[in-house]
Amino acid sequence: MENNCSSIFGNTLYSGKIDIGRERMKSVERECSIEFEERKSKFIGYVKPIGSKQEAEDFIAEIREKHRDATHNCTAYKVVDNGQEYFKTDDDGEPSGTAGKPMGDIITYMDVTNLVVIATRYFGGIKLGAGGLVRNYAKTAKLAIQEAGIAEYIEKKTYMIDFPYEKISDVETIIDSLNGEYLDKGFNERVTYKIRTNIETFEALKEVKGLLIIEL
């Protein structure tokens, strides 16, 4: 359940989106590739863990450039990017519903997110038929995901925090101990940090008095 809200937690002001139940998900552990042949057609499967829609699109562009001589480069990705879920598939010239959709179905069946899967096909001269295409594109996605391994993915979000100078030590101790990432720091009348971190860090920062926390 997602709420757009502004709430007061003690003396800490938080403004932004709260996405309950979506912080802990499953994704692939690493980037990898697999390949196999089916009736002289060569299938190459790529998978990569991602944190944004742009990462997915960039990886797709990279693989399509690498295999620009391929018959098809079909894709599927699912990602939660700043609280918004994106789930996109592309048949890349294969008959509608025979490539991207079965790859997306595998992503759903294996209950993984924050990943992009690409299936590159070099046509071998023998038509596989609609059923054969569905089976082999699904197989490509499944083998690639299995090869990459599945692990818990802890979603990170971007926050802007504003606080007085005397709270620097408290704030940095929390961020550093929970592996938060500093994106920017500003020092004027008050201190402003832009960070990317998980819900555990956010919950801990809420307990520090005098902080303004804005989810970006």
Average pLDDT value for residue range 145-168:
88
Q: Could you tell me if 122 and 169 lie in one domain?
A: no
Q: At 152, is the pLDDT very low, low, confident or very high (cuts 50, 70, 90)?
A: confident
Shared-domain flag, residues 35 and 141: yes
Give the residue-averaged pLDDT of 38-45: 95
Whether 85 and 61 share a structural domain: yes
What percentage of residues in the chain have a pLDDT greater than 90? 64
User: What is the tens place of the pLDDT at every residue in 173-204?
Assistant: 999 888 788 999 999 999 999 998 888 888 88
Domain of residue 170, CATH code: 3.30.70.240
pLDDT of residue 15: 36
Task: Look up the pTM and report it.
Answer: 0.65
**Number of structural domains the chain divides into:** 2
Has residue 2 got a pLDDT over 60? Answer: no
Q: Within this chain, do residues 58 and 140 fall inside the same structural domain, yes or no?
A: yes
- Domain end, chosen from 123, 138, 153, is at 153
For residue 107, the domain's CATH number is 3.30.230.30
- Domain end: 127, 153, 179, which one? 153
How confident is the prediction for the chain on average, in pLDDT?
Answer: 85
pLDDT at 17 over 90: no
Domain span including residue 181: 2-23+156-215
The upper half-sphere exposure of residue 157, i.e. CA atoms within 13 Å in the direction of its Cβ, equals 24
How far apart CA 88 and CA 198 sit, in angstroms, is 25
Same domain for 106 and 142? Answer: yes
Q: Which two tokens stand for residue 71?
A: 């018959």
Same domain for 42 and 143? Answer: yes
Q: Radius of gyration (Cα) for the chain, nearest Å?
A: 22
Which pLDDT value is given to residue 24? 62
Q: In the listed set 153, 182, 197, which residue is the last one of a domain according to the structure?
A: 153
The answer on 172 and 193 residing in a single domain is: yes
39 in the same domain as 120 = yes
Q: Are residues 73 and 178 in the same domain?
A: no
Task: For 78-104, write each residue's pLDDT tens digit.
Answer: 998 877 899 999 999 999 999 999 999
Residues 196 and 128 reside in one and the same domain: no
Q: Are residues 31 and 110 in the same domain?
A: yes
- Distance of alpha carbon 216 from the chain centroid: 17
Q: Are 139 and 175 part of one and the same domain?
A: no
